Amino acid sequence: MRITTGIKGLDQLIQNGFPLHTVILLSGGPGTGKTLIGLNFLLEGAKKGEKCCFVSFNESKADLLRALKGIESLKEAERFLGKNLAIEHIALGEHITMKKFIEIVSRYPKIDRLVIDNVNKLLMFAESKQAYRIALAELVRYLRNFGCTLLICETEKDAIDTGNGEAFECDGVINLSFLEFEEKPKRILEIHKLRYTAFEPKVPNELVIDSKGIRLSGTRII
Ligand SMILES: Nc1ncnc2c1ncn2[C@@H]1O[C@H](COP(=O)(O)OP(=O)(O)OP(=O)(O)O)[C@@H](O)[C@H]1O
Ligand SMILES: [Mg+2]
């Protein structure tokens, strides 16, 4: 069974979606579209009646709703709120250890789709890099009980994770970036890793985010 991504044009590149019981790292720089892709992924599931949860360490629920309103295909997310779509906001000042975080997600008995925005916040509160890596491995193992998790990761320059093992621990890695293309920069989506799946790695697919929605244009930027 596969978990459809919600991004038009992406599922067909990865054997119809993400494998069940996997944790996928969704990494990229500022403004590349991580949060919107996360929300879009949940809306895709919510429409099918799946139980979906967005855990935000960044934007508040009101901020996220505001972002949803600006995009036609995401507008309808609001009507699933309080039903099968939950948004949990954990404010920035709050000290959040990985253990405490696992406690929060374990309050939900069965989640089909989970988005965590973002793992960098858990790194900030780790006692050491080694402690973070151990806790991260434990978290990923725990999250595999759910249908599919998108673990969002803020990255710098051309990196695909923070350099602390996220890309190794997760079952898949989708990286977003901007490419200076002639006069107009383009958004790029690359699949670096996806366990249990036949796909072409690291092909730069053009990602489009506009007032209508989120999709791959079908153009490969080589
Ligand atoms: N209605 C819209 N029409 C066109 N583009 C939009 C619209 N709403 C958002 N965007 C684009 O999406 C970008 C924000 O995407 P998103 O918040 O998902 O990025 P992000 O990768 O999560 O960024 P950050 O790392 O700062 O959290 C905006 O900078 C804008 O370019
Ligand atoms: Mg974001």
pLDDT digits (tens, 9 = 90+) for 69-94: 999 999 999 999 999 999 999 987 77
Considering only CA atoms, which residue is closest to atom 15 of ligand 1? Answer: 33
User: What is the 11 CA–ligand 1 centroid distance (Å)?
Assistant: 21
Residue 46 has pLDDT above 80, yes or no: yes
Sign of CA dihedral 2, 108, 29, 68: positive
| DSSP string covering 119-133 | HHHHHHT-SSHHHHH
Indicate which ligand has the atom closest to the C-alpha of 70. 1
Confidence at residue 110, expressed as pLDDT on a 0 to 100 scale: 87
214 pLDDT band, cuts 50/70/90, is very high
Whole-structure pTM over 0.85, yes or no? yes
| DSSP code, position 8 | B
Specify whether the CB–CB gap between 98 and 138 falls below 8 A. Answer: yes
Q: Which of 205, 191, 167, 144 is nearest to 14 (CA)?
A: 191
Q: What is the C-alpha to C-alpha distance for residues 205 and 186, in angstroms, rounded to an integer? A: 10
pLDDT digits (tens, 9 = 90+) for 131-190: 999 999 999 999 999 999 999 999 999 999 999 999 999 999 999 999 987 789 999 999
Considering only CA atoms, which residue is closest to atom 25 of ligand 1? Answer: 30
Confidence at residue 75, expressed as pLDDT on a 0 to 100 scale: 96
Specify whether the CB–CB gap between 105 and 54 falls below 8 A. Answer: no
Q: Which of 170, 162, 164 is nearest to 196 (CA)?
A: 170
Q: Specify the ligand 1 atom closest to the Cα of 59.
A: 27
Q: Specify the ligand 1 atom closest to the Cα of 67.
A: 8
Query: For the chain, what's the residue count?
Result: 222
Domains and CATH numbers, the chain: 2-220 (3.40.50.300)
The set of protein residues with a Cβ atom below 6 angstroms from ligand 1 is 28, 30-36, 58, 70-71, 154, 209-211
